[in-house]
C-alpha cells in the first residue's frame, strides 16, 4: 500500500485520492432555530429533517459518495422482473470479490437478517455473536430467539490500545457451544467492524478461529460483512501478517471459512440493497424460500436495477486500497484531533466514524436520562451536527419492561466516505470541543413517546429542565452573531 509523505511533517493531513465534481449546498441555521428544530424532532436526531442539518453524521449507510463509474453504470441498467442483466453483472462482481457460488438478494442488510432469522432461528434458541447490532437482534428476538454476546472484555473498554477490539473471547465461545449443545444454537454471527462498540475491527485470525470452532461443532457460522471494507483496512494495517496480502484474498478467505456471508450494500458496495452468499447448497435452499416472500424475485430481491449496477461496480472498487483507505484515515484524523482537544472518544479509532464517550463527557447523567442521546441533541444545537445515539436509548427494554443499560454510552459521528472535506471535519472538532468545555450545561432527556420495538428510530423525548435554553444563551455569549 503506497502512502504520500509530506515534505513538512506539520502539513501532514489525510490526502484525498479523488476530486469532487458534484456538490450539494448546505444550510447552517442560527442556534435558536437549531434548538427549535431538535425540540420539534423530540430530541431524536433520526427525526430531524436533513434540510435543517449542516453536517449529517447520522450514518454512513446509503450516503457514501459514489464514484463516477458507479453513477455511469446506473445508466445501462436492465429493467426486468426476472433474469435481468443487472443482476447477472452483480452476481459476477460478488463472485469476483468473494469467490462464492450462491447469491440471494435483499433490499437491505436487515432484510438479509430477517431471512437468516426466519431460516435458522427457532423459539428458545440462542445466537452467539461478538456483539449485537440493533436490527439483527430485533429480528432474532421477534422470532423467539435470544442473543449472547462474546466480545472480549477489552472490546468494551472505551479507551485502550487493542488493535482488534471486536474479537470474540474464543474460550467463552467454546464453552457456550459445549454447554448449550449445537441444537440450541441458531447460528454464530461474526460482525466485522463491530458497529456498536465503536466500529471496532475483528482480527483475521479471530474470525477464522470462530469459523473453525463452528465447523467442528456443526454450528452455522455467519459473517456480517456490512463493515468489512474498513475491517480489511485494519487487517492490512494492524496485522503485519496481512500487510502484503491483497484485499481480494482476505475477502475470499473469509467467505471460504464462513458458511454464510451477508451485508448491507448501503455500506459495503456504497450503493443500496443487500446480499447473502454461501457455498452451501442446502443452506442456500433453506434461505431462498424467504426471498420471494419478503423481498421479491430472486433476480432483484427488493433492489432496483440502478442500485444493482452501482452495487456491482462498488463491490469491485472495494478491492482497491485507495477506495478502502479514505474512511479510516479521515476517521483517524477526527479521533486524534478530538483526543488532542481532550474530548473523551473511543480509541483506537475504528471504522464508520468517531464515537464520543458520553459516560465521560456527561458523567452527571444516569443511563436512564440517556446521556448519549442528550449529547446528540446538544451537539445539534451547538453546530447543526447530526450524530447517532448508540447507548441505552438504542437498547431494547427487557421483556419485563426494565431498562437494559448499554455497556457503552456513545454518540457516533459517522464519516460517510468522500462526502465531507477536511475543513468540515475541523469544524466538527471545533464545535465538539466547545460543547465539551460547556458540558456541565448538558442535562438529561425523558421519553414522552416510547415505541416498544426499535424505540430509537421514532421515540420522542423532552429535555429535563431548561438546559437547552441555557446552552443556546452560552453559544450566543461565546460566538456573538455567528451561525
Ligand atoms: N449490520 C451492520 C453491522 C450494520 O451496521 C447495519 C446497518 C446492518 C447490519 C443493517 O443494514 O441498514 O442496510 O438494513 N447499519 C446502519 C448504521 C443502519 O447506521 O450503522 P441495513
pLDDT, one tens digit per residue, over 407-436 is 899 999 999 999 999 999 999 999 999 999
What pLDDT digit, counting tens, does each position of 115-166 carry?
Answer: 999 999 999 999 999 999 999 999 999 999 999 999 999 999 999 999 999 9
CA atoms within a 13 Å half-sphere pointing along the CA-CB vector of 58: 18
User: Does the annotation mark 78 as catalytic?
Assistant: no
Q: Quick check: 414 and 57 in contact, CB under 8 A?
A: yes
> pLDDT-derived band of residue 39, with 50, 70 and 90 as boundaries?
very high
431 is catalytic: no
Burial of 178 (0-12, 13-18, 19+ CB in 10 A): exposed
When pLDDT is cut at 50, 70 and 90, the band that residue 286 belongs to is very high
Distance CA 94, CA 312 (A): 7
| Rounded Cα gap, residues 207 and 223, in angstroms | 9
Q: Indicate the pLDDT class of residue 1, thresholds 50, 70 and 90.
A: low
C-alpha cell at 273: 440493497
Percent of the chain at pLDDT above 90? 96
42 pLDDT above the threshold of 70:
yes
With 0-12 CB in 10 A as exposed, 13-18 as middle and 19+ as buried, what is 422?
middle
Stretch 355-369: mean pLDDT, rounded? Answer: 98
Closest of 419, 427, 471, 468 to residue 41, by C-alpha: 468
Give, for ligand 1, the residue of 63, 195, 270, 351 to mutate: max count of ligand atoms closer than 8 Å to Cβ: 195
* 81 in catalytic set: yes
All structural domains of the chain with their residue ranges = 9-60+322-479, 71-319
The H-or-E segment that residue 445 falls in is strand 445-449
Q: Going by CA atoms, what residue is nearest to atom 10 of ligand 1?
A: 109
CA 364 to chain centre: 28
Q: pLDDT at residue 55 above 60? A: yes
Nearest alpha carbon, ligand 1 atom 11: 109
Neighbour tally for 282: CB within 10 Å: 9
Q: Phi/psi at 362 (nearest 5 deg)? A: -125, 65
Mutate to test the pocket of ligand 1, among 64, 117, 133 (most ligand atoms within 8 A of CB): 133
54 catalytic per annotation = no
Number of neighbouring beta carbons within 10 Å of residue 181:
10
- Grid coordinates belonging to 447: 421519553
| pLDDT digits 0-9 by tens, 383-400 | 999 999 999 999 989 889
Cα separation, 352 vs 330, in Å, equals 10
Of 36, 46, 102, 134, catalytic: 134
CA–CA distance, 342 with 338 (Å, rounded to integer): 6
Smallest CA-to-CA distance from 66 within 247, 421, 315 is with 315
Residue with the smallest CA separation from ligand 1 atom 21 is 109
pLDDT at 337: 98
Res 3: pLDDT = 77
Q: What is the 108 CA–ligand 1 centroid distance (Å)?
A: 8
Residue range 305-313: mean pLDDT, rounded: 98
For the chain, state the CA radius of gyration. Answer: 22
What is the reported pLDDT for 355? 98
Instruction: Identify the pLDDT of residue 206.
Output: 98
Selected catalytic residue, list 386, 390, 412, 439: 390
Q: Whose CA is nearest to atom 16 of ligand 1?
A: 61
Query: Does the Cβ of 195 fall within 6 Å of ligand 1?
Result: yes
Q: What would the pLDDT profile of 118-131 be if each residue is shown by its tens digit?
A: 999 999 999 999 99
Cβ atoms of 380 and 38 closer than 8 Å: yes
pLDDT at 382: 98
pLDDT tens for each residue of 451-472: 988 899 999 999 999 999 999 9
- 9-60+322-479: CATH topology: 3.90.1150
Query: Cβ(434)–Cβ(478) under 8 Å?
Result: yes
- As a whole number, mean pLDDT of residues 223-232 equals 98
Beta bridge partners of 129: 149, 189
CATH topology of domain 71-319: 3.40.640
191 in contact with ligand 1, CB cutoff 6 A: yes
Cell of 348: 483506537
Rounded mean pLDDT, 74-103? 97
Whole-number Å distance between alpha carbons of 209 and 168: 9
Cell of 66: 459514489
Residues 407 and 425 sit within 8 Å (Cβ to Cβ): no
Beta-strand pair 55-56/126-129 = unpaired
Cβ atoms of 287 and 119 closer than 8 Å:
yes
| 26: CB partners within 8 A, 6+ apart | 54, 55
Based on the residue annotation, tell me whether 98 is a catalytic residue of this protein: no
**pTM of the predicted protein model:** 0.96
Instruction: Give 265 Cα–ligand 1 centroid separation in angstroms.
Output: 9
Write the DSSP symbol of residue 440.
G
Q: 260-264 and 221-224 as β-strands: parallel, antiparallel, unpaired?
A: parallel
**Distance linking the first and last C-alpha atoms of the chain:** 41
- Nearest protein CA to atom 20 of ligand 1, as residue: 59
Confidence of residue 444 (pLDDT cuts 50, 70, 90): very high
Segments of 68-159 assigned E as strands:
102-106, 126-129, 146-149
Would you say how long the chain is, in residues? 483
According to the model, what pLDDT value does residue 2 have? 61
Amino acid at each position: 500500500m503506497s502512502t504520500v509523505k509530506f515534505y513538512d511533517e506539520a502539513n501532514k493531513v489525510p490526502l484525498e485520492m479523488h476530486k469532487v465534481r458534484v456538490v450539494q449546498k448546505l444550510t447552517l441555521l442560527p442556534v435558536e432555530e437549531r434548538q427549535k428544530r431538535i425540540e420539534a424532532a423530540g430530541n431524536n436526531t433520526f427525526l430531524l429533517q436533513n434540510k435543517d442539518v449542516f453536517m449529517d453524521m447520522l450514518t454512513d449507510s446509503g450516503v457514501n459518495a459514489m464514484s463516477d463509474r458507479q453513477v455511469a453504470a446506473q445508466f445501462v441498467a436492465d429493467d426486468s422482473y426476472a433474469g435481468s442483466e443487472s443482476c447477472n453483472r452483480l452476481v459476477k462482481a460478488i463472485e469476483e470479490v468473494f469467490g462464492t457460488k450462491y447469491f440471494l438478494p435483499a433490499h437491505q442488510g436487515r432484510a438479509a437478517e430477517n431471512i437468516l432469522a426466519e431460516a435458522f432461528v427457532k423459539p428458545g434458541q440462542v445466537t452467539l455473536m461478538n456483539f449485537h447490532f440493533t436490527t439483527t437482534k430485533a429480528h432474532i428476538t421477534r422470532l423467539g430467539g435470544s442473543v449472547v454476546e462474546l466480545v472480549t472484555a477489552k472490546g468494551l473498554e472505551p479507551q485502550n490500545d487493542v488493535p482488534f477490539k471486536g474479537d470474540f473471547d474464543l474460550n467463552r465461545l467454546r464453552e457456550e457451544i459445549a454447554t448449550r449443545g449445537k441444537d440450541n444454537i441458531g447460528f454464530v454471527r461474526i460482525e466485522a467492524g463491530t458497529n456498536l462498540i465503536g466500529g471496532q475491527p475483528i482480527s483475521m485470525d479471530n474470525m477464522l478461529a470462530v469459523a473453525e470452532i463452528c465447523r467442528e461443532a456443526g454450528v452455522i457460522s455467519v459473517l456480517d460483512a456490512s463493515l468489512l471494507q474498513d475491517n480489511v483496512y485494519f487487517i492490512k494495517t494492524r496485522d503485519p501478517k496481512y500487510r502484503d496480502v491483497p484485499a481480494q484474498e482476505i475477502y475470499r478467505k473469509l467467505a471460504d471459512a464462513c458458511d454464510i456471508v451477508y451485508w448491507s450494500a448501503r455500506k459495503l458496495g456504497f450503493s443500496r440493497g443487500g446480499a447473502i452468499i454461501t457455498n452451501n447448497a442446502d443452506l442456500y435452499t433453506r434461505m431462498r424460500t424467504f426471498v420471494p416472500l419478503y423481498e421479491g424475485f430472486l433476480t432483484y430481491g427488493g433492489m432496483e436495477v440502478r442500485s444493482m449496477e452501482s452495487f456491482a461496480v462498488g463491490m469491485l472498487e472495494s478491492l482497491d486500497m485507495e477506495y478502502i483507505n479514505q474512511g479510516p484515515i479521515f476517521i483517524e484524523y477526527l479521533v486524534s484531533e478530538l483526543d488532542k482537544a481532550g474530548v473523551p472518544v473511543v480509541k483506537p479509532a475504528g471504522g464508520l466514524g468517531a464515537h464520543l464517550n458520553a459516560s465521560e463527557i456527561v458523567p452527571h447523567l444516569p443511563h436512564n436520562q440517556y446521556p448519549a442521546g442528550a449529547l446528540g441533541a446538544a451537539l445539534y444545537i451547538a453546530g447543526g451536527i447530526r450524530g447517532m445515539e448508540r447507548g441505552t436509548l438504542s437498547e431494547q427494554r427487557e421483556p419485563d419492561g426494565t431498562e437494559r443499560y448499554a455497556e457503552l454510552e456513545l454518540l457516533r459521528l459517522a464519516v460517510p466516505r468522500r462526502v465531507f472535506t477536511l475543513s468540515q471535519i475541523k469544524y466538527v472538532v471545533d464545535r465538539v470541543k466547545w460543547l465539551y468545555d460547556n458540558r456541565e450545561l448538558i442535562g438529561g432527556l425523558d421519553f414522552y413517546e416510547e415505541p416498544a420495538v426499535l424505540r430509537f428510530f421514532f421515540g420522542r423525548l423532552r429535555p429535563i429542565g431548561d438546559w437547552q435554553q441555557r446552552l443556546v444563551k452560552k453559544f450566543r455569549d461565546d460566538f456573538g452573531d455567528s451561525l
